[in-house]
Structure 1
Amino acid sequence: SIVNDAHNQHLIAWNNSGTSFFIYNATRFSQDILPIHFKHSNYSSFVRQLNMYGFHKINKSPRGQRGSNEYEVWEFSHKNFQRDNPSLLEDIKRKTMDSELLRRENGDVHASLATMQQYQADLLRQFKTLEENYSNLLQNMEEMKKTQAQQQATIRKLLDYATQTSSSKYEDIIFLWSSLMCLLKSRQTKICQK
């Protein structure tokens, strides 16, 4: 109805064949026509709307020779927007994404989600393994502290005994000392193997 209105012919009109329409002054068109038919007066938004419904701009002015919106002529066309064929208007629909593209994107999302879930499960397993290793390490450290305390107590007893005994029992002390060292080495090996 905008294009067919005789009062608007100075701003918007059909081409001679009725297969496209011209907008002669985008600034005045935005100020005078858009607010009457739309909730805005933004020409760029109007052009975006046309594009969303499959209209194409036919560029008449060569690159670099465009003037201001006041003098530039814009031409738009759509195969189902024709002056003498209003029954085609019902075929003008907002562009939707191709169903195959949607299906592909949906598959990509599901694949990404599955990958992320697998990655999360792997991280959880690694975290549990780290927790177990940390717990074992703490337990081993406690056992080593106990063993070290026992060793120090035994060494003190041996030193006390050595200072109180005569040199004749020195051989007994050396035997006890070597036995103690063997015992300590076997305990450390046992703890480290855990």
Structure 2
Amino acid sequence: MRERNKTIAENLNVGNDNSDRRMDLSVVSIPEIRTSCRLKPPPFLGKLYAMVVDPETNDIVSFSPSKQSFIIWDRNRFQSLILPKYFRHNNFLNFNSQLNNYGFNKINWVQNEYANPLFVEGRKDLLIRIRRKNVENRGVIVQSEDMHDRSVMKATLEILRSDQMKLEQQIQELRAKQEDLDEFSMIRDNIEATLEEQEDLKTGLIAHFVQQSVIQNLQDHQENYGTEEPVAKILHLASPDNNSSEDYPDQDPKPDQTNVEPVSTPSDDPEKSTQGQKIISDDSAFWKMMLEDDSVHSGGLVPSST
């Protein structure tokens, strides 16, 4: 009986131990069991951490001073030396795609700096908590990227429209300026035409004044020295009331000899003949001087007669 009771007691103790063990297993959560089962991070993350902390390649890739990100200092050497060593390829785009799949973000485009909240220097144990993006997350990311691209395109379109409006406004201003220039050019042409007409009128007036001056000199000469045949002919041709034979062919071009005073010849009065020739010569020189001298344009037409 004693042995039987002892055996039953031992069986009861064994049952109690198993129940305690079952209770202990029930206390442990499922995520902790999964974590304890997966003690190693994904191969990509393990290789990434190893190459970043390698002191021999710190001049190519290393953790940043903040220890919260890593920087690729020399992309060319990284692509030709580091990638073939750890991943058996030298495709940087493929490496960048893997970083995106594990939630790494590029925070500095100039230095090729990448960061993940769980990728920290000295905390390799955090790598097992980094998860690869699933299909749903990828769809959300793609959708957000599409929305971002659309917003960027919309903003760019607005900028282009604004630039187009500015260009149209500038074109209108240029057209208005061109119209003003055309109007100014027309005004300038009118002014030049008016100046030419004024020059023609001035030339005609000067010729008229010269003619009147010569006529006056000849008349003075006639009054002072008497009428001579050359002087009478010049007065007859230069007079505004002249009726030449061209205008009136029926009229006798010869002057009326009955009304003309006797003309003295050089043989009759040598002194008067000499003075008359001298005055006619002076008047001819004056005519030539008046036509060539620029002082005629000033209007100072006061001839001198001796």
TM-score normalised by length of structure 2: 0.33
Tell which structure's C-alpha radius of gyration is larger.
Answer: 2
Task: Tell me: higher relative CO, structure 1 or 2? Use CA pairs within 8 A at least 6 residues apart.
Answer: 1
